[in-house]
Amino acid sequence: MKEETKGKVKLWDAVPGYEFDEKIDVPEMHSYFHDGVHSVPRLTPMYGCFYGRLNPVGSQYASETLSIPTCKGWSQKVKDGSTYLAMHIIRDKEEIDKRAVKFKEALVPWIEDFDGLWEGYKNELLGLYDHLKSLDLDKATNIDLIHHLWDMVSTYRRMWEIHFLGMYTSMSAVALLEEQVARFGLTSESPEFQNMFRGFDNKAFQVDKQMSEFAKAAVKSGLSDLFKNNKAEDVLPKLEESDAGRKWKKDFYEFLQVEGWRMVRMMDFNEPYWLEEPSAAISVIQTYVSKGADFDLDEVRAKLIKEREKSINELLQKVPEGEREWFRALVNLGGKAGSYSEEHDLYCELYCHAVIRRGFLGIGRRLVQAGTLDRPDDTLFLNPDEIEQVMLAPEFHKLQYIANRRRADWERLRFKETPPVYTDRAGGMDEAVGKDLLPSGDVIIIKLVVGEMPKVKEELKADIYGVCGAPGVAEGKARVIFTYDQLDEVLPGEILVCPGTNPAWTPIFGVVKGVVADRGGTLSHTAIVGREYQVPTIVNCFVGTEKIKTGMRIRVDATQGAIYILDKS
Amino acid sequence: MHSKKLIFWFDELGKEHNDIVGKKCANLGEMARMGLAVPPGFAIPIDMYREFIKETGAEDEMSSYIKEFGEAKGAAIQVFEEMSENLRGMIEGKEMLPPLRECIASYYTELCNKTGTENVAVSVRSAGTESRPGMFETYLNVRGIEGVLEKVKKVWASAFTPRAIAFRVNKGLPILGDELGVAVPKMVNARASGIAFTVNPVDGDSSKITIEANWGLGEGVVCGAESVDLFEVNKNTLEIASKRAGNKRRGVFYKETGADWADIPAKIQRMPCISDKEIIEIARVAKSAEEFLESPQDMEWAIDQDVDFPQNIFWVQTRPAKVASRKVDSPTNHIADLMAKKFRGF
């Protein structure tokens, strides 16, 4: 069957309706920007379908619900696993003014009780996840499974809707604060400004801290050699060999029952979650044990809180007395943005994706039993429509020829570069950003996904320019890596050069001296974690991984956004 | 002859002359002093009105009429209309006193000489010591001394429009309380006119200058009836922040004498009526006026089609801007307000 169909049957679109077509899509929207933060490496077709289709719906839902004055979210297209987005910019002044009136009303509850609203939405999401988790996939009927597929789609959609409500409101506060502090001589890149958002406790940092405590406990129990000298997948069986090991493992498994619904890779379904494959979590512990067990998050946190309070007080001193009350409220709200930006990952992407991965593996097992697919995770190389077509009578169908071919394409293209923008604007990226991005006023896209554009400061004579994510200066050997599974190559004191980071990379910030990321804005994961770990960090330098090679000595002047290649050997 | 100087050129005046010539005239003088291009013209002081009603007997006539009339407070509008008709008749029915006539005529002739125009077109505008917007009359496009004299009397008499009488009666002010000076500026042959606010009158945003504009004379903008052009200029950088061309179906234009509403030709209805450089120049001048006067201003301007840029922009009025009163805000509302403004402004 596989051989017969190959070449004879048209292989339809991997992401039907969302395939990027330059000739049609660019004239309609003028500019499509690469989402380098979320689609490097490239996405599997199933994830492309979910993300391409429902992430924009979430952005549009939140823009409409909040009545964002200048933007109705974005459209997204997928090109061979890379995603591109185009902003729905409102250009009619009267419409903008009308929306602004409603926007103001919609913001009020968020300003008054951001934490309370987020708590409610968080519980809604956890309820949806519990519902998905309650289905025993192996005992389920095929009907249960097709319903499960639809439930996954709908859970994923709701996740993005909630995700963007929180994002737009919290990040709008930061953007406003950024504008307001300008009269006191601060910018988004000023250390005094960035200090105001550091040292907030949240679930993401709590889990990081628990992980580092497990690392410390392992060292204390004399297990550090076991962690250092074995591959992650060999650590767990070896732990069975001693009382201390068994005790540690028992505690760790208990922890995973609660916190293990967490993908390692944030933006796809293709890699295991901690609970599914505890060795994925073990490798994080290994990083802490071998390189960062002495990194004291609590100590750093305490220092950051002090600095935060100092920066806030200094700013409030400059604020005229009559304005101090609302300014303080705005600073507090802005503080939520950094915190929410980290914490929501846990409850939105990382948890949701883990639960959906579970579902696709369950559906995949059923399709393998029926002979429709060869491997359970082949489901990730189909799209939801294709699964729908076969789910209730899978034994009549063979989908290997689709899954295998798409998997081969994906593997071949995974790390291939892709243009940062497709545009019909004559001035290229600059004009595209000026006309088709900035007028959207979309804080998420501007400050996180596409990021602020670096300023070339000729007088610094730097080799590469980026945007300050976390202030400071660092000098050392560069370590260029592209995915988190290469993190074990990074040595203490090196400077990490990467496309961008996500929560899977967090432990490495306790190890490196500096971080250089090709993409990301001042509220991206890389910048936020750089600030929390006090690591000089540059984001959005675009060509870091291209121009810098592992072993080169580089100096990172993050405060200035300047990178110097010291020896170009 | 009179011992004190009766008539003033605008550039001889300042705010200290408010009680002598009325607010509008003093204001034009103040504007000329700070270097704004004000249309040339002269101010007829309030004393001239007083002399007129005294010497012609109108004052006695009006006083006894009011005495006989008795209590008017709370009266119906028809009553005020009747009073208005009678009182205005008592002023308009009198001949202009020869010395006053001579005095006004000599200034008008000199204005004709100054502007090099025979029978130069002027507007004849009321100028009370206190601002009563829209209560008194203004006459546009008046030509020749006879017309000017007639309109001066009409302006004086407009202190007795039904609205003005009702206002004073209901405020407990004397019925004869409003005495008017008269401003007689040369008409700007306006291609377009409008208003510049140095603070947004609706939301109090002081970061931008808001300009409203229409084809023709300023009366086509001020009353706010028609859809007009709306421009916003960033006050710091003097860059245009937004432009919205209104659908300007009607405006106020000159007729042979006077001026009236007329249809605007279809092909220019949706065209911005002023150029970008005119927008920026208007904003620049408005900003400097605000700085000079140390308070937000609401200013009227007109662009003379017979004069080249930038001398073509004339200023006919400036007054402290009224901003819709804002409640003392909770921090939440204030932040929401700022966010709404910020995200409207990209």
Whether B222 is covered by a domain: the verdict is: yes
Do B56 and B205 lie in one domain? The reply is: no
Whether B2 is covered by a domain: the verdict is: no
Predicted confidence band at A9 (pLDDT cuts at 50, 70, 90)? very low
Please list every residue in chain A whose beta carbon sits closer than 8 Å to the beta carbon of residue B333: 108
Q: What is the mean pLDDT of chain B?
A: 87
| Alpha carbon distances (Å) from B228 to A412, B186, B235, B264 | 60, 25, 21, 12
Of A228-237, A447-456, B336-345, give the range with the top mean pLDDT: A228-237
Q: Is A176 on the interface with B (CB under 8 A)?
A: yes
Do B30 and B162 lie in one domain? The reply is: yes
Q: Is A180 on the interface with B (CB under 8 A)?
A: yes
Do B205 and B303 lie in one domain? The reply is: yes
Q: What is the pLDDT of residues A365-408, one digit of tens each?
A: 999 999 999 999 999 999 999 999 999 999 999 999 999 999 99
How would DSSP label each residue in A398-432? --HHHHHHHHHHHHHHTT----SEEE--TTHHHHH
Q: Which of B185, B211, B239 is the last residue of a domain?
A: B185
Q: What's residue A27's pLDDT? A: 96
Q: Write the DSSP symbol of residue B95.
A: P
- CATH class of the domain at A452-565: alpha beta
Q: Give me the amino acid identity at A1.
A: M
| CA distance linking residue A102 with residue A109, whole number of Å | 13
Cβ within 8 Å, pair A112-B332:
yes
Do B30 and B150 lie in one domain? The reply is: yes
Please tell me which of the candidates B244, B331, B346 has its beta carbon nearest to residue A70: B346
Predicted confidence band at A162 (pLDDT cuts at 50, 70, 90)? very high
Mean pLDDT of B310-331: 77
Q: Is A183 on the interface with B (CB under 8 A)?
A: no
Contact A237, A282 (CB under 8 A): no
Do B170 and B244 lie in one domain? The reply is: no
Do B180 and B38 lie in one domain? The reply is: yes
User: Which residue does chain B place closest to A331, by CA atoms?
Assistant: B335
Predicted confidence band at A161 (pLDDT cuts at 50, 70, 90)? very high
Please tell me which of the candidates B332, B341, B342 has its beta carbon nearest to residue A175: B342
Q: Is A440 on the interface with B (CB under 8 A)?
A: yes
Instruction: Map out the domains of chain A as residue ranges.
Output: 179-363, 452-565
Please tell me which of the candidates B244, B329, B335 has its beta carbon nearest to residue A330: B335
Q: Is B340 on the interface with A (CB under 8 A)?
A: yes
Count of A–B CB contacts within 8 Å? 70
Q: What is the pLDDT of residues A445-479, one digit of tens each?
A: 877 777 778 888 889 999 999 999 888 999 999 99
Q: Is B337 on the interface with A (CB under 8 A)?
A: yes
A103-142 burial, b at 16+ Cβ within 10 Å, e below that, comes to: bbebbeebbbebeebbeebbeebeebbeebeebebeebeb
Whether B120 is covered by a domain: the verdict is: yes
Question: How big is chain B, counted in residues?
Answer: 346
Please list every residue in chain B whose beta carbon sits closer than 8 Å to the beta carbon of residue A73: none
| CA distance linking residue A392 with residue A394, whole number of Å | 6
Cβ within 8 Å, pair B343-A69:
yes
Q: What is the CATH number of the domain that holds B28?
A: 3.30.1490.20
Q: What is the CATH number of the domain that holds B269?
A: 3.30.470.20
Q: Is B34 on the interface with A (CB under 8 A)?
A: no
Do B320 and B338 lie in one domain? The reply is: yes
Cβ within 8 Å, pair B338-A180:
yes
Mean pLDDT of A356-369: 98
Q: What's residue B223's pLDDT? A: 54
Contact B136, B126 (CB under 8 A): yes
Please list every residue in chain B whose beta carbon sits closer than 8 Å to the beta carbon of residue A326: 329, 331, 334-335
Q: What's residue B5's pLDDT? A: 65
Q: Is A14 on the interface with B (CB under 8 A)?
A: no
Q: What's residue B346's pLDDT? A: 41
Q: Is the pLDDT of residue A75 over 90?
A: yes
Do B172 and B251 lie in one domain? The reply is: no
Do B85 and B196 lie in one domain? The reply is: no
Q: Is A96 on the interface with B (CB under 8 A)?
A: yes
Q: What's residue A277's pLDDT? A: 93
User: Which residue does chain A place closest to B244, by CA atoms?
Assistant: A93
Lowest mean pLDDT among A59-68, A70-79, A202-211, A458-467: A202-211
Do B198 and B292 lie in one domain? The reply is: yes
Please tell me which of the candidates A69, A94, A173 has its beta carbon nearest to residue B340: A69
Q: Is A60 on the interface with B (CB under 8 A)?
A: no
Q: What's residue B174's pLDDT? A: 86
Contact A347, A33 (CB under 8 A): no
Whether B221 is covered by a domain: the verdict is: yes
Cβ within 8 Å, pair A108-B341:
no
CA distance B341 to chain A (A): 7
| CA distance linking residue B346 with residue A447, whole number of Å | 14
**ipTM summary value:** 0.79
Interface test with B, best of A93, A177, A327 (most B CBs within 10 A): A93
**Half-sphere exposure of residue B50, counting CA atoms within 13 Å on the CB side?**
9
Q: Write the DSSP symbol of residue A293.
A: T
Range of the domain at B173: 8-185
How many domains are there within chain B? 2
Q: What is the mean pLDDT of chain A?
A: 90
Do B334 and B287 lie in one domain? The reply is: yes
Cβ within 8 Å, pair B331-A325:
yes
**Half-sphere exposure of residue B194, counting CA atoms within 13 Å on the CB side?**
29
Whether B52 is covered by a domain: the verdict is: yes
Q: Is A173 on the interface with B (CB under 8 A)?
A: yes
Whether B326 is covered by a domain: the verdict is: yes
Do B161 and B208 lie in one domain? The reply is: no
User: Which residue does chain A place closest to B344, by CA atoms?
Assistant: A69
| CA distance linking residue B20 with residue B38, whole number of Å | 20
Q: Which of B185, B201, B233 is the last residue of a domain?
A: B185
How would DSSP label each residue in A549-563? -TT-EEEEETTTTEE
Mean pLDDT of B242-246: 85
Q: Write the DSSP symbol of residue A325.
A: H
Mean pLDDT of A181-209: 83
Please list every residue in chain B whose beta carbon sits closer than 8 Å to the beta carbon of residue A441: 342-343, 345-346
Please tell me which of the candidates A97, A111, A179 has its beta carbon nearest to residue B335: A111
Q: Is the pLDDT of residue A314 over 80?
A: yes
Q: Which of B185, B209, B226 is the last residue of a domain?
A: B185
